[in-house]
Amino acid sequence: MEKSFSESYKAAGVDITAGYEAVQLMKQHVARTMTAGALGGLGGFGGLFELDLEEFKKPVLVSGTDGVGTKLKIAFMIDKHDTVGIDCVAMCVNDVICCGAKPLFFLDYIACGKNVPEKIAAIVSGVAEGCVQSGAALIGGETAEMPGFYPANEYDLAGFTVGAVSKEKIFDNTKMQEGDAIIALPSSGVHSNGFSLVRRIFDLENKGLDLYSAELGRTLGEALLEPTRIYVKPVLALAEQVTVRAVSHITGGGFYENIPRCLPEGFAAKIEKAAVKTPPIFALMQKIGNVPERDMFNTFNMGVGMCVVVPKADANKAVEILRANGQEAYVMGEAVKGEGVALC
């Protein structure tokens, strides 16, 4: 029986045998993510997942899709590719948890100029790690070799997730009250937004990433490539014990764009600026780039990757539950009548 191989396609820049090798290398990583609902394995035309109707009463499916963006440029420059997959998963699953949904499965899409199997497997190892952290099964994906479209040493990475939540458990912000506590869940750094500005501030294409920074305690490249934190499991644990009014994933647009997205009409977020614990990387960017504070809070997460709104009486309990589930947390503000975000 003849195996699949095309000399003509290879001469055009696409080596299909490299794709097969990449699949073999990534299988060990994918195996780590398998959950009870995942059916079948890699290689089919569709990923199969069986929904547990005992766990979800009147299930509502929640989907999310996103990519890593120009943070990938940092990975290219450092030639380190085993963490950006975590970012890809995080940007999707952190969105669906804002509804109270548990991520069920994930699919990735990698488009590259040249399929180097070891590099593709390294990327997928990060995707698998993100899936393990969020409890999602990696049930499929696609690697597209596109010579002439992407440079040989570059790629793009995007993903898609589907989660589920019982209809009565969807977070309901319509019951929000004045004085409800806004709890900050710290970020691990810049996460995966604002990197066009990051690259301009540090002039990375000309100055590089190798310089050690005493302020950061590591090289600039290491600090910027730090993967996005995944908040799924702590937030799900919190929702089991406390009424969660709303959740916001702080991504591109920072505080001013993202926090209002979880607030009902007529409510605003009053944030105590002094309470916000901002990592040194943001102060360094503001100083070097001479970026106004307003723009910093309207571009970056400023050390807060997610915020959760709970009743004022439950604030301390919520912080304790989050910390018990491995997630540092603190109160940074409250819901008030009004519109938008006020940093006080």
**178 and 212 belong to one structural domain:** yes
Per-residue model confidence (pLDDT) at position 214: 81
pLDDT (0 to 100) of residue 227? 98
Q: Do 159 and 180 belong to one domain?
A: no
pLDDT in the model for residue 189 = 96
Q: What is the pLDDT of residues 226-248, one digit of tens each?
A: 999 999 999 999 999 999 999 99
Confidence label for 12 from pLDDT (cuts 50, 70 and 90): low
Q: Do residues 252 and 206 share a domain?
A: yes
- For residue 268, tell me if it sits in a domain: yes
**36 domain residue, yes or no:** yes
User: Is 102 inside any structural domain?
Assistant: yes
143 and 184 share one domain: no
Q: Does residue 23 fall inside a structural domain?
A: yes
- Do residues 89 and 115 both lie within one domain? yes
The residue type at 36: A
Which CATH number is 142's domain given? 3.30.1330.10
Torsion of CA 256, 294, 300, 330, to 10 degrees: -70
Is the Cβ–Cβ distance between 63 and 136 less than 8 Å?
no
Nearest by Cα to 90 from 226, 183, 227: 227
Buried b (16+ CB within 10 A) or exposed e, 295-311: ebbbbbbbbbbbbbbbb
Domain count, the chain: 2
Burial letters 237-275, b for 16+ CB under 10 A, else e: bbbeebbbbbbbbbbbbbbbbbbbebbeeebbbbbeeee
Kindly tell me if the per-residue pLDDT of 111 is higher than 70: yes
State the pTM of this model: 0.94
Kindly report the CATH number assigned to the domain that includes residue 271.
3.90.650.10
Report the percent of the chain where pLDDT is more than 70.
94
Helix (H) or strand (E) holding 8: helix 7-11
| Contact between residue 309 and residue 247 where contact means Cβ atoms under 8 Å apart | yes
Judged against a pLDDT cut of 90, whether residue 3 lies above it is answered with no
Domain with 308 in it: 173-343
Residues 165 and 177 in one domain: no
Mean pLDDT over each residue of the chain, to the nearest integer: 93
Most confident of 56-60, 214-218, 331-335: 331-335
Whether 126 and 163 share a structural domain: yes
Per residue in 69-89, pLDDT (tens digit) is: 999 999 999 999 999 999 999
* Domain boundary, last residue among 169, 200, 227: 169
Inside any domain, residue 119: yes
Q: Which of 113, 147, 169 is the last residue of a domain?
A: 169
